[in-house]
């Protein structure tokens, strides 16, 4: 009898988890979205979050019942291969260059040429939004050929930041959100000239699995509390 009750309980738990709203987003926005999700879950409703570079996110969304994808508009609509019902803009992403503690403060992107900057981490330019933007601004500012031998390519913004915090690199190309989230762990940061890379429009894409709770969460993402959180994290 106990065994039957246990099996029923486990199945019920799996069913509840299966019914939770599933949301995927770029890894660079994990902290800010987790904060918003935590606010939303005070209502008693749950959300399962998946985070990775946008290629990983897109692949996961195609294989599961993810209802919402949050990330760069251009990538989601033109490169992800996802069938998107609609896209709502939430903010604008900004590229930042962070430098490690102990490094002489950077005043502009050209300071990456300083001899003290021996290794620069950046997300993958073929898969991660800020890797694409990072390579773009380096080329547009005629810096790429001068620093390419110092570039250390990693998968995501969080990884780029981790190598900086542990001082395995001297500088990292990340987003402003990550820089603000970790300002006590780094030496500092500068914001890259937004004219040096394509505009990064961050928003939420609604997929075919979007149900009533999904629509409710979309509205929550646009309320004053969520806007306040987004602004705090540089969006």
* 178-199 confidence digits (pLDDT tens): 999 999 999 999 999 999 999 9
Task: Tell me, yes or no, if the two domains 2-93+200-232 and 95-196 fold the same way.
Answer: yes
pLDDT at 17: 53
The CATH architecture of the domain made up of 2-93+200-232 is: 3-Layer(aba) Sandwich (3.40)
Segment 32-59 mean pLDDT: 93
Helices marked H in the chain: 2-19, 30-40, 54-63, 73-78, 129-140, 144-147, 157-165, 176-181, 212-221, 224-232
Task: For residue range 128-159, list pLDDT tens digits in order.
Answer: 899 999 999 999 999 999 999 999 999 999 99
- Domain definitions of the chain by residue range: 2-93+200-232, 95-196
pLDDT of 3 over the 90 cut: no
Among 181, 161, 25, CA closest to 101: 161
| The CATH number of domain 95-196 is 3.40.190.10 | yes
Q: CA-to-CA distance for 154 and 10, rounded, in angstroms? A: 39
Nearest alpha carbon to residue 209 among 65, 107, 69: 65
CA distance 61 to 172: 29
pLDDT digits over 90-102, tens only? 999 999 999 999 9
């Amino acid at each position: 009898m106990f065994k039957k009750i246990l099996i029923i309980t486990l199945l019920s738990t799996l069913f509840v988890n299966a019914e939770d709203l599933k949301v995927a987003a770029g890894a660079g926005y994990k902290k800010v979205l987790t904060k918003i999700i935590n606010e939303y879950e005070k209502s008693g409703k749950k959300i399962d979050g998946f985070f990775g570079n946008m290629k990983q996110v897109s692949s996961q969304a195609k294989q599961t019942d993810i209802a919402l994808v949050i990330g760069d508009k251009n990538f989601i609509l033109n490169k992800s291969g996802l069938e998107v019902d609609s896209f709502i803009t939430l903010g604008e992403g900004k590229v930042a260059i962070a430098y490690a503690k102990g490094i002489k403060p950077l005043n502009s992107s050209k300071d990456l040429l300083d001899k003290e900057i021996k290794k620069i981490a950046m997300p993958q330019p073929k898969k991660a939004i800020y890797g694409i933007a990072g390579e773009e601004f380096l080329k547009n500012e005629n810096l790429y050929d001068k620093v390419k031998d110092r570039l250390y390519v990693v998968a995501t913004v969080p990884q780029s930041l981790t190598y900086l915090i542990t001082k395995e690199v001297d500088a990292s190309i990340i987003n402003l959100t990550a820089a603000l989230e970790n300002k006590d762990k780094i030496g500092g940061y500068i914001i890259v000239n937004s004219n040096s890379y394509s505009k990064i429009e961050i928003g939420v894409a609604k997929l075919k699995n979007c149900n009533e709770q999904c629509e409710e969460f979309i509205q929550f993402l646009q309320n004053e509390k969520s806007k306040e959180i987004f602004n705090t994290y540089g969006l």
